[in-house]
Copies of this chain bind each other. A is one copy, B any other.
Amino acid sequence: MKDAFKALSDPTRREILNLLKEKDLTAGEISEHFNMSKPSISQHLKLLKQAELVFDNKQGQFVYYSLNTTVFQELISWAMHFIEKGGQKK
């Protein structure tokens, strides 16, 4: 989760997640959506992978990226604790 919060703090990485919500994409396809060099996108993808927000899957010379939803579920549980509990007010 620690890495996920860091990963989610960058707007480019959040936009990559939005793209992957629609369908799986290669690193190259992802980079086409941004005015940014491929190495920069590759670095963002690396961080998203480290945070377990995406999977990567090499198919020949292409690397397909897809969403890994488990951390999103953890994030929901985490946020729920702040609204549901609402311990006794003093």
Contact = CB atoms under 8 A, between A and B. Distances in A.
A38 interface: no
B5 A8 contact: yes
A50 interface: no
Q: How many copies does the complex hold?
A: 2
Contacts of A23: 87, 89-90
B80 A76 contact: yes
A67 interface: yes
Contacts of A14: 5
A21 B87 contact: yes
9 closest A-B pairs (Cβ-Cβ)?
Answer: A9-B9, A69-B83, A72-B82, A72-B79, A75-B79, A76-B79, A5-B9, A6-B9, A5-B8
